[in-house]
Chains A and B, each alone.
Chain A
Amino acid sequence: MEDSAIFNVQEQWLRPLRCELNVLSRPDGSAMITQGSYFILCCYVNTFLYSYRVHIFFFKGNTAVVAAVYGPVDVKPQRILVDKASIETVYKPKSGLPNVADRMRETIIKNTCETALLSAIHPRTAVCIVLQEMQDSGGLLSCCINAACMALMDSGIAMKFLVAAVSCMISEDDIILDPSDKDLMGSKASLTFVFDSAKKNLVASHTSGVFSQEQYHESLLKCRQASCEIFEFYRSLVKKYIICI
């Protein structure tokens, strides 16, 4: 699988993803996702004598997350749900104790996974999703959701659909897909959308900052388009791992 930049919309791209399934031996399912790398743009410069090939390097962060899932397991009595599995999410920051933002992230991931999972077929059990931040270079939330989805898929638990999260930001005049932490410095608003694989419907949307309704719709469209690329990535990943599983 080549790390080719995904040229989705003109001059808009998602940072290339890399994913390894089953990275950890103890959990039922685990996945590590890294997003971001060098981009190499090839340009041909024609002079009257020679034709040069020029490589332009861009570096856009390197967000990395590990996710682990423990399939239907026993649940604490106070968290037991009689009609469906209760979903527990733990998000661990790289250093220090989890703060409010981390708790927020945890809840968003939990709600998203709850939608994707067929929790009704495992009543009185728990599904435990643990996420460990390894590197935050922008788009941590979308990376976390994608990693959680991959870990759930790896664990083999029943799901309604897969989910793909795409983040974007609104700067002064335009919308940038999958911004790195450097891009985010000049952002007015940052938005993260989660789509399902079945009908590409919106599953979750998390926004912060100031933006207009038109901007929201425009970024939603762009992200939906980009989410197809992520589903395509999932597909290629499954193709790669089908031999192992």
Chain B
Amino acid sequence: MKESILSISEKTFILSALSETRRLDGRKLDEFRPMKIHFGSDWGCCIVTLGQTKVIAQVSCEVQQPKPTRPNEGLLLLFVELSPMGAPHFEAGRQSDLAVQLNRLLEKCIKDSRCVDLESLCITAEEKVWAVRVDVNILNHEGNLVDAASLAALTALSHFRRPDVTTTGEQTIIHDPAERDPIPITLHHHPVCVSYAVFDKGNHVIADPTAIEERVSEGQIVFGVNAYRELCGLHLGGNAPITLEMVNKYATRAAKRALELVTQMKKALAEDLKNRISGIEVGFRDCIDSNNRLSLGKDNFQIQLFTPDFKKERAKRASNIDVKEEKINDEVMDDSSEDDSEPVIVSVGKGSAELVNQKKQDMKLRRKRKLQNDEGGKEYDVDESSSSEESDNLDKESEDTRKNGEPMSDSEIQVVAEYKGTENKPNENKVIANIELSGDSEEEETVLLHGEDLKNGSTEKGRGRCPKEEKMEGDEPHSRGWYSKPTW
């Protein structure tokens, strides 16, 4: 069977969703799918599920002659098999490009990082060594096969027990597992692959891509990282321009993920061992929960654009609140804006405020902000519960200030004046927008003002900063995509 063609509309849909930091399955950009490990009753057999991706690995061993170049080292062989079970376009018994690539990546990660102690697999130098073979079979391909396969291979290797061997002079005895307890393989460290997909010339990088995201992506970054945060392998695929900073940044994140994975793996291994010691027979039977219809199976709703966050946001909008809030958990894609990833409340004149996603503001604004920060202004970070309250306070305070007729600084006078100015002359290089108070309309223009307004407002008693100071391109009103597009 041929691989189904990816339509342009699917492609653009995914890309436009990504540009609004949304993913089809409702994950955040740097969020990974949940991982589960099930062990079979044999040693060295496990299923790893990563979201819907399912991979089974089995380790086996046999006695072989060592390589003449390395006479006292055992052999480690890794095989990744793509059967049509995983996806219809995989063919049985034929090495496809993907299979070769996966094989090589796994070899890079596990074999070349020398995590398996090969010397302990030696029985007699130059004559007999253990050849450990890892077979990884893909059961279901829903993207990120590398991560699942590498984790499955590593888990199977750490789970595996080889028969005990004694050598007496010329005789070598391989003991039956019933006779002598089999011996685990020594692993020096636990490297796993963590992969990212790159979109839009490196502007969007997502963790743990699904099959469709992989097909749309411009490039892949695969890190082989161990739990000690050591890089064991790096693969840059595709044609996306990937900078050194990006590699560094995502390598640190990958290390964090690797630590999580390895901890989870060790926990699963310990639990399995505990069950085996206490006499509970372990097997795949346990991964089918007879009370649950889909314990291993897929979720019924795979596309989850309407995440709880989104619903909350929509409900807020419907209830007509001045301060619109959104919880922005998404990672910001360029380095410079990392510190700005928190939403910021900006006041849009008296009695109203707007929450603005800082990362979408342009560099010009950032530079301006730096200047302002030097002047003592700070960003005002908002958390969901307090934001509307705060803005009320702000309003009251600003009203109070005006009523009380507190001595105003020059800057504040300037503010008022300038603000009027912006209202009157829309073509000026300032932020101009209609603040939308009704909340019904789908089309909305968002005013881009600055957080310093609010900060100053609350701390310096309504001494709002002038919108003019933020020299924005006023002509392009910043609109949040998922507000203005009713289809979402």
Contacts and interface: CB of A to CB of B under 8 A. Distances in A.
Given A25-B142, A62-B285, A70-B1, A96 B135 contact: yes
Interface of B is mostly: loop
A interface residue count range (under 10 / 10 to 19 / 20 to 34 / 35 or more): 35 or more
Given A25-B140, A26-B87, A59 B281 contact: yes
Nearest to B56: A134
A128 interface: yes
Contacts of A137: 41
Contact of B1 (A3, A73, A95, A241): A73
Interface string B275-312: 00000010111001010011111101010000000000
A151 B285 CA distance: 18
A184 to B, nearest CB: 16
B86 interface: yes
Contacts of B141: 26
B41 A26 contact: no
Contacts of B241: none
Which of A25, A26, A59, A66 is the most central at the interface, judged by chain B CB atoms within 10 Å of its CB?
A26
Contacts of B281: 37-38, 59, 62
A73 B1 CA distance: 7
A70 B84 contact: yes
A34 B288 contact: yes
Interface string A21-64: 11111110010101011100000000000000000000101101
A241 B293 contact: yes
A18 B60 contact: no
Interface in B411-440: none
Contacts of A59: 281
A80 B83 CA distance: 21
B41 A62 contact: yes
Contacts of A37: 281, 283, 285
Given A22-B298, A26-B142, A132-B83, A95 B135 contact: yes
B154 interface: no
A92 B92 CA distance: 9
B41 A66 contact: no
B58 interface: yes
B149 to A, nearest CB: 15
B297 A66 contact: no
B88 interface: yes
A34 B295 CA distance: 14
A4 B447 CA distance: 67
A223 B386 CA distance: 70
A235 interface: no
Nearest to A35: B285
A135 B1 contact: no
A198 interface: no
Nearest to A98: B93
A108 B45 CA distance: 27
Nearest to B40: A135
B248 to A, nearest CB: 35
A87 interface: no
A62 B283 contact: yes
Contact of B54 (A24, A70, A92): A24
B133 interface: yes
A95 B84 contact: no
B414 to A, nearest CB: 61
Given A21-B297, A128-B84, A95 B41 contact: no
B139 interface: yes
B295 A20 contact: yes
Contact of A240 (B135, B142, B293): B293
A187 B364 CA distance: 82
B81 interface: yes
B293 A243 contact: yes
24 contacts: A20-B294, A21-B297, A23-B140, A23-B296, A23-B298, A24-B52, A24-B54, A26-B88, A34-B285, A34-B288, A36-B285, A37-B281, A62-B281, A68-B84, A74-B2, A92-B137, A94-B135, A128-B1, A130-B83, A132-B139, A134-B56, A135-B42, A135-B45, A243-B293
Interface of B: 1-2, 40-42, 45, 47, 52, 54, 56, 58-60, 81, 83-88, 92, 133, 135, 137, 139-142, 281, 283-285, 288, 290, 293-298, 300, 302
The 10 closest A-B pairs by CB, nearest first: A62-B283, A64-B284, A130-B85, A95-B135, A34-B285, A25-B298, A24-B140, A68-B85, A95-B58, A94-B58
Given A20-B297, A25-B302, A137-B41, 6 more contacts: A3-B290, A32-B284, A92-B81, A134-B40, A134-B45, A134-B56
